[in-house]
């Protein structure tokens, strides 16, 4: 795909630094990760899929000038193109496009998102994560020597992380992904919200979003609207 704009200027250096932190976390889970970029107006949305969680992660950044493009690039190349802190930071060159992985063609719908009640607060979310990690370790340690296999550990992990939170349909793995990617904070008044549209669920925080299909959902392609609110 040919893109006319060859570089981006971020609204400030902090935007570039926050995006770099997100890319570093993605690359921790997949050194060959690709990300899909969508720019609209003065905002850039970056979509990634950490394989350990089976979710889509979305991070946004404010741009200094309006742009409009949609392409997929190497997460590592994008990270290398971002500026370091200091004078002149906030400017990045776009890497060459790459052939996108299958997930890059199946993004959440553009509109129709509605907030759903019932999501526990940030303290309760973190407590649920701590309890899940503790349970996983206990069940793993209780396995007989002959059953300590990757398949058995994956089975335990699937059982734990597929559980839904409170009266919502949001699986615990979505919260685990948000925590691991730096989207959650410990502050008791930290704003978190659960949104839905069609077959999609979305956990939104000020630092980014985690989106995934409802259990058993099939079909449907779309694009998430670019927004500076993640």
- pLDDT tens digits along 81-97: 987 665 445 567 789 99
**Residue at token pair 């730096």:** 182
Note the pTM of the prediction, 2 decimals: 0.88
Exposure letters 33-48 (e unless 16+ CB within 10 A, then b): bbbbbbbbeebbbbbb
Distance in Å from the first CA to the final CA of the chain = 25
Please give the share of the chain, as a percent, with pLDDT higher than 70.
Answer: 87
- pLDDT tens digits along 159-192: 999 999 999 999 999 999 999 999 998 788 899 9
For position 100, what pLDDT does the model report?
86
Residue 222 DSSP code: -
Q: Where are the domains of the chain?
A: 119-189
Whole-Å CA distances, 41 to 59, 100, 113, 147: 16, 23, 20, 54
What mean pLDDT comes out for the span 16-28?
95
DSSP string, 74-138: EHHHHHHHSPPSSTT-SEEEPPPP-PPPGGGG-PPPSS--EEES-PPPHHHHHHHHHHHHHHHHH
| Longest CA pairwise span in the chain (Å) | 59
Say if CB 15 and CB 65 are below 8 A apart.
no
* Token couple for 163: 């559980």
For position 90, what pLDDT does the model report?
58
Beta-bridged to residue 56, according to DSSP, are 211
- pLDDT tens digits along 100-142: 899 999 999 878 999 999 999 999 999 999 999 999 999 999 9
Q: Which helix (H) or strand (E) holds 139?
A: helix 122-141
């Amino acid at each position: 795909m040919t893109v006319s704009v060859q570089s981006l200027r971020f609204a400030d250096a902090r935007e570039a630094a926050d995006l770099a932190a997100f890319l570093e976390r993605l690359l921790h889970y997949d050194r060959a990760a690709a990300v899909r970029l969508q720019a609209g107006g003065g905002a850039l949305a970056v979509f990634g899929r950490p394989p350990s969680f089976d979710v889509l992660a979305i991070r946004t950044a404010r741009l200094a000038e309006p742009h409009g493009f949609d392409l997929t690039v190497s997460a590592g190349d994008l990270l290398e193109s971002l500026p370091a802190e200091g004078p002149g930071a906030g400017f990045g060159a776009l890497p060459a496009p790459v052939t996108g992985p299958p997930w890059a063609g199946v993004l959440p719908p553009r509109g129709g998102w509605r907030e759903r009640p019932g999501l526990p607060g940030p303290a309760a979310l973190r407590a649920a994560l701590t309890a899940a990690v503790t349970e996983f370790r206990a069940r793993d340690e209780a396995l007989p020597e002959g059953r300590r296999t990757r398949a058995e550990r994956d089975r335990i992990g699937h059982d734990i992380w597929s559980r839904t939170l409170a009266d919502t349909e949001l699986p615990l793995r979505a919260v685990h992904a948000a925590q691991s990617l730096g989207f959650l904070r410990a502050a008791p008044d930290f704003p978190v919200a659960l949104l839905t549209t069609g077959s999609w669920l979305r956990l939104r925080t000020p630092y980014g979003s985690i989106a995934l299909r409802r259990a058993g959902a099939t079909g449907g392609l779309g694009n998430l609207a670019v927004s500076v609110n993640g």
